[in-house]
Amino acid sequence: MSEPVRAVLVGAGQRGGDVYGAYALQNSQKIRFIAVAEPISERRDRFAAQHSIPPENRFTTWETLLEKPKLGQAALICTQDQLHTAPTIAALRAGYDVLLEKPMATTEEECRQLVAIAQEHGRQLHVCHVLRYTPHFQKLQQIVQSGVLGDLVTVAHRENVSWWHMAHSYVRGNWASVSQSCPMILAKCCHDFDILLWVLGKQCERLSSEGSRIHFRRENAPPGAPEYCLDGCPVEDSCAYYAPFIYIDLLPLWRGVRDSSKGMVRLATKAQTRSPALVKTFSKVIPTLRQISGYDGWPNSVVAVPPTKENLMVALRRGPYGRCVYHCANDVVDHQVVLMRFEGGLSVTLTMQGHSHWECRETRIQGSRAELRAFLGHGGSWIDVHEHRSDLSSHYDTSAPVGDGHGGGDFALMDAFVDSLSGERAVGLTAAHESLESHLMAFAAEQARLEGGVVTMSAFRQG
């Protein structure tokens, strides 16, 4: 049996520390973290303790880690979006193969630069397009490429961001400002552009786009609403965005979970706010309920470290996640539609919106022989195919186990990355030179939205 891949981590937050760190702990025979760079001491120390990283391999900055002689084979770059480029370049030049969180970078020029430097140094650079690794989209791609739908005519794909996720990430959170992060169509939908390219197996020829910020504006604040929710908000009992309702009660999160316990989770979430001790007792015999009684993951893990109720309340009093959603400095859109023409005259639309009741992705494809409808959500996923002539229908359950991140894509992505480093797989599904196209489409869509025109992708690719 080969030795596990030795890896260093840059950024021990929700993705790096909680997701990829958890993979390493469960698959220690495949990969082992031997160093970490993280500016927040609580996160750095927690990750180091979990992975038995010695003090000399714990760093406050990525610079101090990557200026040292190469410590292992792989580097995982999981910093904030606008901080991806510099550490990735340093890691590639230091000789590491890199797994980079999406989006690759926040500018078109930097995305191109990363691909060029990886090729120049002969290193592997993979982008975390986790959706390609889900059972759902792998089955969807298989069906489309089989030809059972006939000639593809139209595709309508929706990225439905739940109302509370929109408030957390794109109003109060790290992706609220274009200048501090990037356009929402890039941050959220580089995944979706990548999936469309991969599933359809065609290139986009031209696109246009419309979108704006309608709701999360200061003029829409309720009368008397303070800057922070806990400063005596007059509508705290009715406002859907009241911070303690989202982060302390956690009901919006658990309402979206539907599984084989046939409503048990939904009932338990209501009971949790009234009798947490009762839920904790039943969680000893019902594994699904353990997620509720002892939950300390996202989004709360972003708000406070560790996310105890006491720490959360302190953070909400003056921290960014305790602000009234109508008094934030957000400027990203809360909805955007992209209209595309793909090769062969195929018409494709991508709708991204942040006011969905359910967090989910939906896909509908019309073909000359059959129609496909697909749904991917936290509580289950499915694909239906209806044939025109025979009226026969096929149903595919593409659900991943409850709790598997990104519909089962997170750990499958790591499997593919480790396999590519060990030589068991020639190349991962999301090598950076291939992922570049989805990012260029996002930049082109934002340009089209701002300028109100049509972007021809062949010219855009040439820069």
* pLDDT in single tens digits along all 463 residues of the chain: 489 999 999 999 999 999 999 999 999 999 999 999 999 999 999 999 999 999 999 999 999 999 999 999 999 999 999 999 999 999 999 999 999 999 999 999 999 999 999 999 999 999 999 999 999 999 999 999 999 999 999 999 999 999 999 999 999 999 999 999 999 999 999 999 999 999 999 999 999 999 999 999 999 999 999 999 999 999 999 999 999 999 998 888 877 665 444 454 555 555 444 444 544 544 444 455 455 556 788 899 999 988 999 999 999 999 999 999 999 999 999 999 999 999 999 999 999 999 999 999 999 999 999 999 999 997 789 999 999 999 999 999 999 886 677 788 999 999 999 999 987 665 566 899 999 999 999 999 999 999 999 999 999 999 8
Q: CA-CA distance, 391 to 342, in Å (whole number)?
A: 28
- Cα–Cα distances in angstroms (integers) from residue 82 to residues 17, 106, 180, in the given order: 19, 6, 7
- Measured from the Cβ of residue 357, the count of other Cβ atoms closer than 10 Å reads 12
Encoding tokens for residue 219?
A: 């003029």
State whether residue 177 is helix, strand or coil. Answer: coil
Laid out side by side, the sheet with 335-342 consists of 393-397, 380-387, 370-377, 360-367, 152-162, 347-356, 335-342, 204-212, 455-456
Secondary element (H or E) of residue 114: helix 108-121
- Per-residue pLDDT at 285: 44
- Per-residue pLDDT at 425: 61
- Per-residue pLDDT at 197: 98
- Per-residue pLDDT at 178: 96
- Per-residue pLDDT at 259: 46
- Per-residue pLDDT at 264: 47
Helix ranges restricted to H, 147-297 = 163-165, 184-200, 243-244, 251-255, 264-274, 276-282, 290-293
CB 106 within 8 A of CB 79: no
- Per-residue pLDDT at 294: 65
Secondary element (H or E) of residue 99: strand 97-100
Whether cis (ω within 30° of 0) applies to the bond prior to 320 is no
